[in-house]
Amino acid sequence: MKILCLILASDTSPEYIRFQGLWRKFMHLRREVDCYFYKGHPDLTQPTFLEDKTLWIKVNENLGTVYEKTLRAFEHFLPELHKYDYVYRSNLSTFVSFQHMLEFCADLPRTNCCAAVAGGIPRETEDRFSLKHGLSFPGGNGFILSPDLVRRIVDEKPPLIEQDDVTIGAALRNWSIPIVEFARPDYRDEGSWYINNPQFLKPNEWNLRPKKMMFTYRLKSFDRMRDAMTMEDFIRNVYGV
């Protein structure tokens, strides 16, 4: 099993820079996972430039270019995709247990596969088969794609709707690709946790230890300093660094 992990990143705030430092503590610890940040910089002399595990892309660095950056990152790594079973698009404020991600991916289809926490689905619904909901999309904090879907996204370049996750979600619906879901705790502003998909967990699994169905943690509250400290705790407890 081999996974390419592409981390949406930016240097536009001290918090983003700190999160990159935290990622660098653990992103190299599993040989089965190759991790790269990707960022925009309008003054490059070439379309893309890879240095120190960072893919620089000749594009303005702002929220409006997130989809273009993601497309360009996918396109840059196309020649290497034959080495990988899956591509995982993450972001800076997500902690990942790669061991448990690998266990989860072992049971996924190898083609026409997207795994994520599905956004745009009414929380009260019991039927979470995402094709039945017209606004479903793979949550941008982290989604897994099989390499054939990455190639298709690059080839067809689905038209921008909002951000990259919503745009990719529209393409998946058009291609009749469902979203395979996993559980993801979200760190809330009051300091509590909310688990988006409790139906995947047994009662005695309602804790914050990573597991096969719960390997990502979204750390994006209004207190970014506290988010960073929480990620440091996860890194220390899970990876021992």
Q: Is the per-residue pLDDT at 218 higher than 50?
A: yes
- Which pLDDT score is estimated for 161? 82
Residue 232's contacts (CB-CB under 8 Å, 6 or more residues apart) are 22
Lowest mean pLDDT among 8-17, 79-88, 125-134, 203-212: 125-134
The single-letter code of the amino acid at 199 is: Q
Of 159, 141, 126, 129, the closest CA to residue 89 belongs to 141
What DSSP assignment string belongs to 94-146? EEE-HHHHHHHHTTS-SSS-EEEPEESS-TT-S---GGGSTT-EE-TTEEEE-
User: What whole-number percentage of the chain has pLDDT above 90?
Assistant: 62
- Which pLDDT score is estimated for 143? 94
Assigned CATH class of 3-239: alpha beta
Distance CA 139, CA 232 (A): 23
Mean pLDDT of the chain: 89
User: Residue ranges per domain, the chain?
Assistant: 3-239
Q: Is the per-residue pLDDT at 12 higher than 60?
A: yes
Distance CA 213, CA 125 (A): 20
pLDDT digits (tens, 9 = 90+) for 64-93: 888 999 999 999 999 999 999 999 999 999
Please tell me what DSSP assigns to residue 199. Answer: G
pLDDT digits (tens, 9 = 90+) for 177-200: 988 989 999 998 887 888 887 878
Structure tokens at 223: 């207190």
Angle at alpha carbon of residue 104, lines to 79 and 215, rounded to 5°: 100
- Which pLDDT score is estimated for 130? 46
- Average pLDDT (122-128) is 49
Secondary structure (3-state) at 221 = coil
Please tell me what DSSP assigns to residue 178. Answer: P
- Which pLDDT score is estimated for 135? 54
Distance CA 15, CA 121 (A): 30
Distance CA 39, CA 43 (A): 12
Task: State the pLDDT confidence band at 121, using cuts at 50, 70 and 90.
Answer: low
177 phi/psi in degrees, rounded to 5 = -105, 115
